[in-house]
């Protein structure tokens, strides 16, 4: 056996088959927490859950927002202006998780107050944070930037965003059927790029 062949044998023995998966998170270390009013963000969260496993948790408030659209817009605007953080009914033992997906809609071009509450209430230092978003067609606004601001000691990965419903116009859950299938393909591509797609 010549020197080149010996080198190749020794080199490849240092990198066993499947070694690239060692950096992927384990399902039991993953949390997917989401806020959803019209169930579009919930639909995306459920697709992600199918792809990565982990625990799926909906953010619930101690005092739910009003059903009326104009009333909630007014209340959220006041909360954003005053910095009020609505108390949450949801309580999660964050120490169990290494990778945390954060799902939320865009409200007033900002991160919704309940998600701000979650980030203020939980120490996500040294965690890997993966934001995902649904919106009415105007994009993420400042929401992804706010996540980075509130999690300065976290590893924040590239987020995912997709158009959902337009509650203002009476268009509610749209991420279903064909649209959900298209979203699933985009989510798979996103997760692969982040090396987060767990083959189960």
Domains and CATH numbers, the chain: 25-193 (3.40.50.360)
The pTM of this model reads 0.87
Task: Give residue 42's pLDDT.
Answer: 98
Residue 24: predicted pLDDT:
63
pLDDT tens digits, 55-73:
999 999 999 999 999 999 9
pLDDT tens track for 159-174: 999 999 999 999 999 9
Task: Please state, rounded to an integer, the average pLDDT across all residues of the chain.
Answer: 90
| pLDDT at residue 198 tops 90 | no
Banded model confidence at residue 8, pLDDT cuts 50, 70, 90 = very low
Which residue in 146, 137, 145, 157 sits closest to 114, CA to CA?
Answer: 146
145: pLDDT strictly greater than 50:
yes
* SS3 of the chain: CCHHHHHHHHHHHCCCCCHHHHHCCCHHHEEEEECCCCCHHHHHHHHHHHHHCCEEEECCECCCCCCCHHHHHHHHHHHHHHCCCCCECCCCCHHHCCEEEEEEECECCECCHHHHHHHHHCCCCCCEEEEEEEECCCCCCCHHHHHHHHCCCCEECCCEEEECCEHHHCECCCCCHHHHHHHHHHHHHHHHHCCCCCCC
What's the first-to-final CA gap in the chain, in angstroms?
40
On the question of pLDDT at 9 being above 60, the answer is: no
pLDDT in tens, 39-49: 999 999 999 99
Given a cut of 60, whether residue 86 has pLDDT beyond it is: yes
- Is the confidence at residue 180, as pLDDT, over 80? yes
Give the torsion through C-alpha atoms of 71, 159, 51, 178, to 10 deg: 60
Torsion angles phi and psi, residue 118, rounded to 5: -60, -45
Q: Quote the pLDDT of residue 25.
A: 75
């Amino acid at each position: 056996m010549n020197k080149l062949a010996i080198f190749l044998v020794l080199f490849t023995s240092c990198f066993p088959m499947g070694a690239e998966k060692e950096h992927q998170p384990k399902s039991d270390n993953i949390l997917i927490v989401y806020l959803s009013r019209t169930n579009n963000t919930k639909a995306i969260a459920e697709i992600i859950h199918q792809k990565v496993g982990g625990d799926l948790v909906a953010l619930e408030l101690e005092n739910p927002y009003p059903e009326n659209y104009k009333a909630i817009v007014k209340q959220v605007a006041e909360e954003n202006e005053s910095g009020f953080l609505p108390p949450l009914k949801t309580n999660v033992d964050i120490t169990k998780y290494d990778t945390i997906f954060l799902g939320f809609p865009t409200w007033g071009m900002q991160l919704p107050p309940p998600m701000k509450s979650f980030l203020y209430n939980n120490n996500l230092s040294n965690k890997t944070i993966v934001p995902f978003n649904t919106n009415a067609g105007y994009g993420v606004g400042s929401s992804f930037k706010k996540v980075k601001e509130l999690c300065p000691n976290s590893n924040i990965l590239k987020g995912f965003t997709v158009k959902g419903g337009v509650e203002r116009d009476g268009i509610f859950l749209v991420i279903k059927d064909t649209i959900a299938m298209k979203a699933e393909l985009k989510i798979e591509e996103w997760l692969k790029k982040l090396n987060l797609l767990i083959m189960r």
